[in-house]
Amino acid sequence: MSDDNFPSIIVFDVNETLLDINSLEPLFARIFGNRNVLREWFAQLILYSQTMTLSGLYSPFGELGVGALRMVATIHQVTITDSDIVELKQRMSSMPAHPDVVPALTRLRDAGFRLVTLTNSASSASPTPLDNAGLSHFFERTFNIETVGKFKPAPETYHLVAKELSVETADLCLVACHLWDTIGAQAAGCRGAFLTRPHNAILVAAGVPSPDLIASELTTLADKIILSRPA
């Protein structure tokens, strides 16, 4: 069913939504003897990025990522070397796209949607992670949170995209596999489309907004977005 007010600008989260962070698993398997520590590290990275914003502080996402790796290593009583940090940065810059990403982006682009990205990661020299994954050509603009100095889901991050595109937040739909991101986007006035990739799920609790659209595959989510567009 179409929605006469559904946005034509789709804003994509990048890490894990488009790019597969599981490509970092070999690093964690080598350092910790357990690839699943990747999820512990990523959760700490998100926790402390949000903590910095709530505390009125800022440190680049990449620096927090390195710090979170050292913190998790201390917890597990493992030694981190400089070469481990180099490998982390290299792997984070070369994460591949999930298999469903190119087909989904192609469908949305061919259907006439405007596509942009919004990431907590800092800007980087070319080739960027999106360049390396072969995705850059799909996007009109790529936004990061450096200029506002706050991490998602702070409302300023979503308002940044709206301001730069000279639209209202109501004209945006955020696609993310992190519910905290869609919650933040919806609270800022955007629509939220939630991708239930592994390790991510809906939170049912009083006051928590339900995403406007939900799917377990990005291609399916893209089809739902297309169907929601005004006829």
Domains, the chain, with CATH or none: 9-20+95-228 (3.40.50.1000), 21-93 (1.10.150.240)
| Size (the chain), residues | 231
What gap in Å lies between CA 13 and CA 22, rounded to an integer? Answer: 16
Q: Tens-digit pLDDT profile for the chain (231 aa)?
A: 567 789 999 999 999 999 999 999 999 999 999 999 999 999 999 999 999 999 999 999 999 999 999 999 999 999 999 999 999 999 999 999 999 999 999 999 999 999 999 999 988 777 999 999 999 999 999 999 999 999 999 999 999 999 999 999 999 999 999 999 999 999 999 999 999 999 999 999 999 999 999 999 999 999 999 999 876
Write b or e for each residue in 143-182: b if 16 or more Cβ atoms lie within 10 A of its Cβ, otherwise e: bbbeebbbbbbbbbbbbbbbeebeeebebbbbbbbbbebb
